[in-house]
Amino acid sequence: MSSNITKSILATSTEKLAITTPFVQPPDCSNQWTMTEMPHLPLTSFSSGEVYHTVMSKVSVSAPPSSCYPSGWDRVERTSRLNFSPGVCPENWTYYSMARTHTEGPTSAYCCNSGFNYTWVNGRACAAWGPRTEALPNPEDAKSDQVLMIHTPWTVTWDASDTATLTPKLPTLASLMVVPTWTIGQTIPDGVYDYKPPRLESGPDFTKDSLFMFLVVGCPVIFFVLVCSCVFCCVRSCRKKRRQRKVVIVAATPPAPTSPPK
């Protein structure tokens, strides 16, 4: 079924199971499915706002027997049974959301079976559309010949020091690096998935707006010219009136009497 599966656990242990080579599931594991109803919250928009309401949908959920899992997985605490460290994904599965969230922390990834995509369906899930395998009593449910198939993703983590013991050799990511999908043999391009700090959003460049430049530069210049023109006209008018008053005063002043000859 599989090779080189390392167990370091006791009954109901909190330690995670280690898998150093890809686990090979028996062929009949891919046919172990059961129909069930799963709630989801579709959004309905109204003029007064948005309303969420719960709808039950028919889905096909993976329900394999214990033989479809690595030996010893059921002796691990239930919440950690599908978390393997160090670990690699099962044979022919795809690594999703491969990431290293801390400088000194391990790299982690979610494993989905071939043909399934990692997504969120009431929690982390691997999902794909597949043919309906059983008749449904409700005619409304039976209209489609496709059904959403869901299985729980496996989680694997590994440190840089673990890569020498793992087959295949998994990549060691830089800090805060996230690779959306990865398959065995794939080369991760340099720099493509490196962490990039978020940019501060810059506002619009108003200096390229002619109206803005007119309001900021043109209006003050025009106002200054108008003020200077008004001041100049006022000064000139005052001087002109002053000269006119002098002329009137001079014209109205009688000549000084001349002294009689001696």
Per-residue pLDDT tens digits for 218-260 = 677 777 777 777 777 777 777 777 776 666 665 666 665 555 5
Please list the alpha-helical segments (H only) found in the chain. Answer: 210-213, 219-252
> For strand 33-40 and strand 55-62, is the pairing parallel, antiparallel, or unpaired?
antiparallel
Give the pLDDT confidence score for residue 1 in this predicted structure: 44
Who has greater pLDDT, 256 or 44?
256
For residue 161, what is the DSSP state? G
How many residues belong to the chain?
262
Q: Tokens 């400088």 — which residue?
A: 103
- For the segment 134-190, what is each residue's pLDDT rounded down to a tens digit? 555 555 554 567 889 999 999 999 998 999 999 999 998 888 889 999 999 999 988
Closest of 119, 110, 201 to residue 153, by C-alpha: 110
Closest of 100, 115, 105, 258 to residue 183, by C-alpha: 115
pLDDT above 80: residue 126: yes
> For strand 94-100 and strand 177-182, is the pairing parallel, antiparallel, or unpaired?
antiparallel
Closest of 86, 100, 112 to residue 15, by C-alpha: 86
Asked whether the beta carbons of 94 and 181 are under 8 A apart, the reply is yes
Q: Tokens 């059921």 — which residue?
A: 74
Distance, CA of 176 to chain centre: 14
CA distance 240 to 234: 10
Give percent above pLDDT 90 in the chain: 37
Closest of 74, 42, 68 to residue 55, by C-alpha: 42
Q: Confidence class of residue 9 from pLDDT cuts 50, 70 and 90?
A: very low
- The DSSP-derived string for 20-62 is -S-----GGGGG-EEEEEEEE--EEEETTEEEE--EEEEEEEE
CA distance 99 to 195: 10
Span 90-119, mean pLDDT? 92
**Amino acid code (one letter) for 33:** W
Q: Tokens 């499915």 — which residue?
A: 33
Tell me how many degrees the CA angle 237-238-240 measures, rounded to the nearest 5.
Answer: 65
